[in-house]
A and B are shown apart, each in its own frame.
Chain A
């Protein structure tokens, strides 16, 4: 069951830089996964309720209570760059 796939777009959306060989290599793998999904989608599922989650469980919630936070120095020490109490990141464009 052939499936169209734009592997370059998938890589761009995931912000992963791939060489031509890698594009072909991963494109083939992803193609296989999508073909499998297409076979599943072709099954007759009339009367089957869509499932977002395999566990027979709903409403796993927490009460609105405040819990301890992390120490800021410990947190910022993990970052590649900081400025005072902030994380510092390279310039970025909106949209």
Chain B
């Protein structure tokens, strides 16, 4: 029997607010352990939470970007559970009255665009961070754990999809598009490796054509877009194997092991969760009126899908448009085009050499020493023949190495083409003088040797001569 996968994704997004969700502690990543703490985020008795208005506004903004309905009336709940990194023994979250419900996101995982339903977007607080001690680092044989509460109380959005995703590629495309939206809104740095963007996936299989849902497995611990895709591919294969062998799928949480390339069953005793949600008595309800909605809607910037359409209208192909937007290179693109460069030439540099550089060095677009003006200058230098297409790559390498603007790099690395006709004439005449036999044969009618002489001039000038100009000068002088 053929099975199809049914995938839903839960995404946690840490917001880039200056202060935490319910207290004024700073949120900077990498601060000394347990320095960004106060009675509220340590869960000390009697401390009272006060919600961060910015976090609420940003959650609504993401809801709008995902075409959700924004709830006019919304409430925080307590989600009760015991865990060492949760000092209050409850997390302030949202339950049946979240800020945003019922949106969607269109994604293309390689089989055409499909619509993924967004069940809800709600706001909660992050937990502290625990480091398990013990030789293997595995939780079950750890000898204890160390807790850092700096992350405790950082505003955390949760975005939940409907089980609408069908393939690992589609899951990755969804994750990538959501990340691009979050970055466009400027509400999170969305770094997977630092945990400010985290994905969990629910996966089940069902016979093709069936509409009932199979037993779902929750897959956790995927720290990159690539590992999200790999983990889902593995898990779908695993479930296929179990079903093909006549087995049944156990409802469980499995952890992705990136190094081993497999998901593994959690060792903990599985007891069905009972969070005993109830309205947080220390917080009054949220009401969102039409004025606030209008103000927030006006602040929504151009979103990735619209941006891609704009790029394609400017002559870019779909792949280039996608690369620019997904790679966070649109700022650079827009600046270079605004500085007068041709969109396609700019896109070629960005989706080619620049993207290769980012992949090779493992850096982000924000780390680049290239700006829009510099990129426009490089394009202009190629267009006007100041540098050859080959030399331009060396110029860009210099710019990316922090050596200065394209013109400065080209001068310092001696890559400018010889555009001075006088200098070219000297180089051509020298070559003709050194190859009198060939010149005589050209005069005798063997025009094929012009190419040979052009090659000699290019060699003598270190490739900095304009080959077309050299060709023309040689023909003029030999009558070819």
* Chain A residues with CB below 8 A from B140, complex form: 93
Q: What sequence of 0s and 1s flags, for each residue 80-95 of chain A, a beta carbon within 8 Å of any chain B beta carbon?
A: 0001111111111111
Residue contact A66 to B18, C-beta cutoff 8 Å: yes
Residue contact A67 to B23, C-beta cutoff 8 Å: yes
Residue contact B269 to A93, C-beta cutoff 8 Å: yes
Interchain CA distance A93-B134 in the complex, whole Å: 13
Q: What sequence of 0s and 1s flags, for each residue 24-66 of chain A, a beta carbon within 8 Å of any chain B beta carbon?
A: 0000000000000000000000000000110101111111111
* Chain A residues with CB below 8 A from B479, complex form: none
Other-chain residue from A15, A65, A67 in contact with B38 (beta carbon distance below 8 A): A67
Other-chain residue from A59, A66, A87, A90 in contact with B284 (beta carbon distance below 8 A): A59
User: Does A1 sit within 8 A of B, measured CB to CB?
Assistant: no
Q: For chains A and B in complex, what number of residue pairs have CB atoms within 8 angstroms?
A: 136
Other-chain residue from B23, B50, B268 in contact with A95 (beta carbon distance below 8 A): B268
Interchain CA distance A52-B56 in the complex, whole Å: 19
Interchain CA distance A53-B54 in the complex, whole Å: 23
Residue contact B285 to A87, C-beta cutoff 8 Å: no
How many of B's residues come within 8 Å of A, CB to CB?
Answer: 60
Residue contact B146 to A83, C-beta cutoff 8 Å: yes
Other-chain residue from B38, B53, B82, B130 in contact with A70 (beta carbon distance below 8 A): B38
Known: A69-B25, A69-B38, A76-B34. A58 touches B287 (CB 8 A): yes
Which residue of chain A has its CB nearest to the CB of B83? A92
Q: Interface segment, B174-182, B274-282, B303-311, B411-419?
A: B274-282
What residues make up the interface of B, taking CB atoms closer than 8 Å to A? Answer: 17-19, 23-26, 32-39, 42, 50-56, 75, 80, 82-84, 97, 130-134, 139-140, 142-149, 253, 266-271, 274, 276, 279, 281, 283-287
Given pairs A52-B75, A60-B50, A69-B26, 12 additional interface contacts (CB within 8 A):
A52-B97, A60-B283, A62-B52, A66-B26, A69-B38, A70-B42, A75-B34, A85-B148, A86-B131, A87-B147, A87-B149, A89-B147
Q: What are 11 pairs between A and B in contact, CB < 8 Å?
A: A13-B274, A59-B287, A62-B52, A64-B18, A67-B23, A69-B37, A70-B38, A72-B35, A72-B37, A91-B132, A92-B83
